[in-house]
Amino acid sequence: MFEIGLSRPLMRNSTRNKRSKVPPDRLIRAIFATVIVVALTGGIGAGKSSVSRRLTDRGAVVIDADQIVKELQRPGEPVFDAMVARWGQGILSDDGGLDRQAVAAIVFADADELRALNELVHPAVRSAMTARLDELAAVAGVVVLDIPLLAEGDAQKRGASAVIVVDCPIELAIDRLVESRGFDRVDAESRVAAQATREERLALADFVIDNSGDERALDVEVDRCMSWLSTLDQTPWPKNLPESDET
């Protein structure tokens, strides 16, 4: 049992008392947590961002891994510095920021370079997402961890109670990248191929949102997802609290 606010003499007089390794602020948030935490993922072109916006419109709080990546890759940040150290000035734009297209040209053409990028970025993203979730853990409601590359990482739920996968056929995803986002088809195909397979993502799913239809069909799917979310138990947070030490 964790003890909060015990005086020092009382703790000395009991041989069975234990001291928690967990910082008190995190422990208190864990005790009073009323949040449901779920992970959201989907392949490029599947429409995950469209689902994320709809979940936000319906009251969920979204922690967006892509946005965190952009923050971590700003000039002066450790991740930015590490990327420049590895790939040189050629990945910088004229204003000194990161040229994302230049980075993409490197990493999507070489699996080893993509792996190196992920090793630089993913630990920092996980840490930042955990910190933001800590801030929200005592808030009632649904928190969505928007993680595009969940299946490419350690395939864990990252502390979430469940995983939602946004799914559509691969050819449809490629068509969307070309028609709606201006990708060259070869580039679109290489980016899809660099990610986990559709089957690998679906294997993680506790709930699948089918985004093979139109906007109205997606609204129906997201409403169905929200109804399912209301059936989930609250998520204990922080996850995997360390055991106490003997005092």
In a domain, 221, yes or no: yes
Instruction: Supply the mean pLDDT for the chain.
Output: 83
In a domain, 10, yes or no: no
From CA 91, how far away is CA 88, in angstroms rounded? 6
In a domain, 11, yes or no: no
Number of domains, the chain: 1
Which whole number is the average pLDDT over 141-160?
79
Which whole number is the average pLDDT over 13-39?
56
- Residue that is written with structure tokens 């093979």 in the block: 212
In a domain, 55, yes or no: yes
User: Do 149 and 156 contact (CB within 8 A), yes or no?
Assistant: no
Q: Note the pLDDT of residue 23.
A: 56
In a domain, 17, yes or no: no
In a domain, 190, yes or no: yes
In a domain, 131, yes or no: yes
pLDDT in tens, 165-189: 999 999 999 999 999 999 999 999 9
Among 35, 222, 46, residue whose Cα is nearest residue 148: 46
pLDDT at 113 over 60: yes
In a domain, 245, yes or no: no
pLDDT at 116 over 50: yes
Strand pairing category for 18-19 and 245-246:
antiparallel
> Which range marks the domain in which residue 98 is found?
33-234
From CA 68, how far away is CA 17, in angstroms rounded? 40
Distances (CA, A) of 34 to 131, 232, 236: 17, 12, 8
Cβ-proximal residues to 81 (8 Å cutoff; 6+ apart), any chain:
none
Q: What is the pTM of this model?
A: 0.76
Residue 207: pLDDT band by 50, 70, 90 thresholds? very high
CATH of the domain at 128: 3.40.50.300
